[in-house]
Amino acid sequence: MTDQHGTIESHPLRHGEEAETYPPRPEFRAQANVNDSSVYWRAAEDPEAYWADQARRLKWSKPFTEILDWSNPPFAKWFADGELNVAANCLDRHVAAGLGDRVAIHFEGEPGDTRTLTYAELTHEVKRAANMLTSLGVTAGDRVAIYMPMIPETVIAMLAVARLGAAHSVVFGGFSAESLRARIDDARAELVITADGGYRKGRASALKPTVDDALALETGGEPSVQRVLVVERTKNEVAMVPGRDLWWHEEITAFDGDHEPQGFPAENPLFILYTSGTTGKPKGILHTSGGYLTQVSTTHRNVFDLKPETDVYWCTADIGWVTGHSYVVYGPLANGATQVIYEGTPDTPDWGRWWSIVQKYGVTILYTAPTAIRACMKVGRQVPEQYDLSSIRVLGSVGEPINPEAWRWYREIIGAGSAPIVDTWWQTETGAIMISPLPGLTSLKPGSAQVPHPGIDVNVVDEAGNRVDRGQGGLLTIRRPWPSMVRTIWGDDQRFIDTYWAKFGDQYFAGDGARVDEDGDVWLLGRVDDVMNVSGHRLSTAEIESALVEHHAVAESAVIGAHDETTGQAVVAFVILKSQQTLLAPDDAEQALKQHVASQIGAIARPRQIFVVSELPKTRSGKIMRRLLKDVAEGKEVGDTTTLADTAVMQTISARMREGTR
Ligand code: PRX
């Protein structure tokens, strides 16, 4: 099986090797939310009935009678004649059930300040914010951009937008002014909600100045934004543009907590979230209401074995990514969970911070990314061992394959050798977890995401779309529509069809390689396209390449994701400088271009290394062979170079790399 650059990446554990397994402990199984394995075949027999049952756990202001409408593939509609209010499902419903005093959010600021919001308090704040947004002209069908730190107002803002039937577009706070502006323009957002700053790594970072810069950029068009609403968090000095900018805390005082939620159709847009694809332009992934909320709440309850009365759940993801949308905001709140939200980084003021939070709040379910686990491993077990982590009973992993070594460390050191680990495979596009163990049923295998959730139908196929044999690598597809699936790419139905459906017609192509082992467990083998995965975040090679060539000194660039011990992959760039340019001395080029990429896209895209080279390896037809660059960047034996137009070029590059890394 080959992709356009060569072979699907190999996994440390190959076919034929025995993986150790960890069956559920009997005590865990006995109390688990899902402990009857017949759920799998029952859901497989009638997936629509399964999802309809799940959807009926939500509160519908108008019950649905239709389940799935797949009459116009690939544009699915779920529960289309039903109506619901997503925010009321996450809030008012619990208060009405007498759970108003239950803690919804334990907020921990990075400097150590804390806030507790019960469901009654959170509901009250969201109602007030909804009234405030109404006064600013937000109505159903509008888009609101949110560019915020990890603070309760971010959740309040998202839910207030949802309550009004408008759609939010949350842009991760690490993105640059250019990236923010592109997202604002694409969605035609009229309101931006931001903050004066947020705390990260012991500093108050600036957000509002980036919004100002974004709106001031010359893009050839007028910004759609009419108003900027600013939450006070750090008391950073910020410039307020009269007539455009408003302080949240000043505006909100005029509004009380009376707000009746209106029901909206199940297919009403809930949010747009931009993600990197294989071209330079990010894709606006559109999610809608009823199906999305059904699948995020179902998977949250089943996969994490959530007991809302007693569990304290903590997902460390930033709200700017899909994991924050589905498993900080909508899944947990729809389920009435009590959760921790932490503003800052795990190493501030020291690497004990996360574990002190687990101890302080008695966290029982922890959901994080392999890159964070590997970073903690590097620091050493002596740090978590200083804290009481005995409250933990379920551990989750997301964002990239978890290597078996990190899996074992996570279970041993954080999970006291007994907590099940649920490795969850999904994507921005899938909206919710698709493949993972169920902790009361599945015998765990370190490194495998294991089995599709009940009601989900995944397949591993060859280039022609035919299922491959067990043990063989192939391409991961999803055969049936699922409730939380992406509905389209915002404003670009054709790109939606081309990206995900054109390859196989009737199967959704995920962009990942996978292998199913003899037991039927799925092993993810990494992306097969030009999407990199750095610290569990998606970055596109094309987007970084185009940022590099926008620099006046750069003639050509090639970007690859090279293996990195901590971050999974790291961005490595090869650039050719223009021959006549005088802007950059080759010695300064690396730093200057790293900075350039960070300011064009955001700090997350900053390359780990940039090598100035005089040529790039190309085929005779002029296509850059990134696979060869990846080999040199990873210090591997360089693969087959016979198709290169100039076979000497790789030797020159290898020599250049050796110099550069000395
Ligand atoms: O390659 C897969 C990888 O992350 C991609 C999706 O990235 P994103 O849309 O940013 O969503 C990340 C959080 C859901 C996938 O195409 N990926 C995600 N989770 C896993 C994974 N790869 C292997 N194992 C996982 N558990």
Residues 502-547: pLDDT tens digits? 999 999 999 999 999 999 999 999 999 889 999 988 899 989 998 9
Any atom of ligand 1 within 6 Å of the Cβ of 210: no
The Cα–Cα gap between 558 and 585 comes to 20
For the Cβ of 538 lying below 6 angstroms from any atom of ligand 1, the answer is yes
Closest CA to 337 of 365, 316, 360: 365
Q: Which of 300, 398, 477, 528 gets mutated to test ligand 1 (max ligand atoms within 8 A of its CB)?
A: 398
Q: What is the pLDDT of residue 16?
A: 44
Task: Specify the ligand 1 atom closest to the Cα of 531.
Answer: 1
Choose which residue among 273, 286, 524, 540 to substitute to test ligand 1 binding: the one with the highest number of ligand atoms within 8 A of its C-beta: 524
Mean pLDDT lowest among 119-123, 323-327, 355-359, 398-402 = 398-402
Amino acid at 290: G
Residue 657 pLDDT greater than 60, yes or no: yes
Task: Count CB neighbours of 604 within 10 A.
Answer: 17
Task: Phi first, then psi: give them for residue 68, nearest 5 degrees.
Answer: -115, 130
List the strands of the sheet with 473-478, edge to edge: 458-461, 473-478, 508-516, 522-527
Ligand 1 atom nearest the C-alpha of 511 is 16
The counts of H helices and E strands in the chain are 21, 32
| Tens-digit pLDDT profile for residues 464-473 | 999 999 999 9
Q: Does residue 6 surpass a pLDDT of 50?
A: no
Whether 547 contacts 596, CB under 8 Å: yes
**Would you say residue 178 has pLDDT above 80?**
yes
Q: What is the pLDDT of residue 661?
A: 59
Q: In the structure, what pLDDT confidence band is assigned to residue 8 with cuts at 50, 70 and 90?
A: very low
Q: Which domains does the chain possess? A: 24-345+424-513 (3.40.50.12780), 535-660 (3.30.300.30)
Specify the pairing of strand 568-577 against strand 554-564: antiparallel
For ligand 1, atom 7, name the residue with the nearest CA. 427
- For residues 165-188, give the mean pLDDT: 96
542 neighbors 280 (Cβ within 8 angstroms)? yes
pLDDT tens profile 106-145: 999 999 999 999 999 999 999 999 999 999 999 999 999 9
- Average of per-residue pLDDT across 337-344: 98
What pLDDT was estimated at residue 12? 45
Confidence (pLDDT) at 18: 52
Can you spell out the DSSP letters for 357-391?
HHHHHT--EEEE-HHHHHHHHHH-TTTGGGS--TT
Average pLDDT over residues 560-573: 93
Does the C-beta of 198 come closer than 6 Å to ligand 1? no
275 lines ligand 1 (CB under 6 A): yes
pLDDT digits (tens, 9 = 90+) for 239-282: 999 999 999 999 999 999 999 999 999 999 999 999 988 777 89
Question: Is residue 565's pLDDT more than 50?
Answer: yes
Tell me what pLDDT residue 443 has: 97
- Count of CB atoms within 10 A of residue 442's CB? 21
Question: Do 376 and 384 form a contact (C-beta atoms < 8 A)?
Answer: yes
pLDDT at 660: 66
* From 427, 428, 475, 523, mutation site for ligand 1 pocket: most ligand atoms within 8 A of C-beta: 427
Residue 5: the pLDDT is 36
User: Whose CA is closest to atom 6 on ligand 1?
Assistant: 427
Confidence of residue 622 (pLDDT cuts 50, 70, 90): confident
Q: Which residues pair with 287 in a beta bridge?
A: 271
508-516/264-265 β-pairing: unpaired
Region of poorest pLDDT, from 218-227, 235-244, 312-321: 218-227
Atom number, ligand 1, closest to the C-alpha of residue 402: 24
* Mean per-residue pLDDT, 613-630: 87
Contact 38, 11 (CB under 8 A): no
Q: Is residue 207 a contact partner of residue 195, using CB atoms and an 8 Å limit?
A: yes
Q: Is the CB of 351 under 6 A from ligand 1?
A: no
Give the separation between CA 270 and CA 424, rounded to whole angstroms: 23
How many Å apart are CA 305 and CA 298, to the nearest integer? 10
Q: How far apart are CA 477 and CA 160, in angstroms?
A: 35
DSSP assignment, residue 657? H
Of all protein residues, whose CA lies closest to atom 22 belonging to ligand 1?
Answer: 400
- Whether residue 529 has its Cβ less than 6 Å from ligand 1: no
Which residues on adjacent β-strands are paired with residue 474?
514
Ligand 1 near 567 CB (within 6 A): no
> Which residue, 302, 596, 627, is CA-closest to 440?
302
Considering the chain, what percentage of its residues have pLDDT values greater than 90? Answer: 84
The owner of tokens 């700053």 is 197
Per the prediction, the chain carries an average pLDDT of 94
Predicted local distance difference test score (pLDDT) of residue 7 = 37
The answer, yes or no, to whether any atom of ligand 1 lies below 6 A from the CB of 399, is yes
> Exposure string (b/e) for 645-661, b if CB count within 10 Å is 16 or more?
eeeebbeebeebbeeee
Query: Does the Cβ of 527 fall within 6 Å of ligand 1?
Result: yes
The closest-lying atom of ligand 1 relative to the alpha carbon of residue 428 is: 9
> Could you give the CA distance from residue 532 to residue 537 in angstroms, rounded to a whole number?
8
Q: Contact 140/164 with Cβ under 8 angstroms? A: yes
Q: What is this structure's pTM?
A: 0.93
Average pLDDT over residues 637-650: 80
The Cα–Cα gap between 488 and 507 comes to 15
> Using a 6 Å cutoff on CB, does residue 326 contact ligand 1?
no
| Contact (CB, 8 A) for 371 and 570 | no
* Cβ neighbourhood burial of 224 (10 Å; 0-12, 13-18, 19+): middle
Output the CA 599–ligand 1 centroid distance in Å: 25
pLDDT at 181 over 70: yes
pLDDT digits (tens, 9 = 90+) for 25-43: 999 999 999 999 999 999 9
Rg (CA), the chain: 24
3-state secondary structure of 327: helix
